[in-house]
């Protein structure tokens, strides 16, 4: 995986965390910098762990799907990308102001990182460096979620769906690139 592809993957994986952190920032109304960094770290750490879990599951099942692993990676990335596009196209609901709790934040971060677990599984099939990928995803997610939290009270409902749309398109593009790299159909 090239550094540019890794960056695009990390940004795509952080898109849903960015959208969720905008909502968290809007709930806080005027978040402080330390709150934004704390929220970003929670999202980033969880987003860095889930690809490792997915990769481990992918490595265990790799021997059973080795002949068509690129199709598995393409399918997983495309399904995740399409889901992100679908979510981004849904109408935004009015942001409710709720009390922030650590458990609610962890639950939100876990929900937004499920796609990173599936991406981790697909990376096991293409022999990508999972440590570099997980660190990149975690770091970019920390930065994006911190920025999203700080911008939340100003941007709220206007930006969140665009992050999901763009992230979904990029994931489908990465899936196509994996397929192109591993099949003669695209290399002809």
Number of domains the chain is built from = 1
Let me know if residue 107 belongs to a domain.
yes
Let me know if residue 102 belongs to a domain.
yes
Instruction: Give the domain range for residue 112.
Output: 3-157
**Rounded Cα distance, 167 and 8, in Å:** 9
Let me know if residue 187 belongs to a domain.
no
Over the stretch 78-100, which tens digit does the pLDDT of each residue have? 887 787 788 778 755 444 445 55
Over the stretch 121-169, which tens digit does the pLDDT of each residue have? 888 878 778 999 999 999 999 999 999 899 887 776 566 567 667 767 7
29: Cβ contacts below 8 Å, ≥ 6 apart: 97, 153
Let me know if residue 174 belongs to a domain.
no
**Rounded Cα distance, 183 and 178, in Å:** 9
Let me know if residue 165 belongs to a domain.
no
Let me know if residue 186 belongs to a domain.
no
3-class SS of residue 42:
helix
Over the stretch 8-63, which tens digit does the pLDDT of each residue have? 999 988 887 887 787 777 777 678 899 999 999 999 999 999 999 999 988 887 66
| Alpha-carbon separation of residue 180 from 37, 71, 165, 171 (angstroms) | 38, 10, 23, 14
Let me know if residue 58 belongs to a domain.
yes
What's the predicted TM-score (pTM) here?
Answer: 0.69
């Amino acid at each position: 995986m090239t550094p540019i592809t890794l960056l695009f993957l990390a940004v795509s994986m952080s898109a849903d965390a960015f959208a969720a952190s905008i909502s968290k920032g809007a709930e806080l109304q005027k978040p402080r910098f330390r709150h934004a960094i704390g929220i970003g770290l929670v999202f980033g750490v969880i987003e860095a762990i889930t690809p490792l879990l997915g990769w481990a599951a992918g490595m265990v099942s790799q021997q059973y799907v080795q002949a068509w692993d690129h199709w598995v990676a393409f399918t997983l990335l495309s399904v995740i990308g399409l889901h992100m596009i679908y979510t981004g196209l849904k109408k935004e609901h009015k942001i409710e102001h709720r009390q922030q709790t650590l458990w609610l934040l962890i639950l939100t971060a876990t929900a937004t990182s499920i796609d990173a677990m599936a991406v981790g599984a697909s990376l096991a099939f293409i022999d990508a460096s999972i440590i570099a990928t997980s660190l990149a995803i975690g770091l970019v997610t920390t930065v994006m979620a911190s920025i999203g939290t700080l911008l939340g009270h100003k941007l709220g409902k206007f930006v969140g769906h665009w992050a999901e749309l763009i992230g979904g398109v990029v994931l489908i593009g990465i899936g196509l690139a994996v397929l192109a790299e591993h099949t003669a159909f695209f290399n002809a």
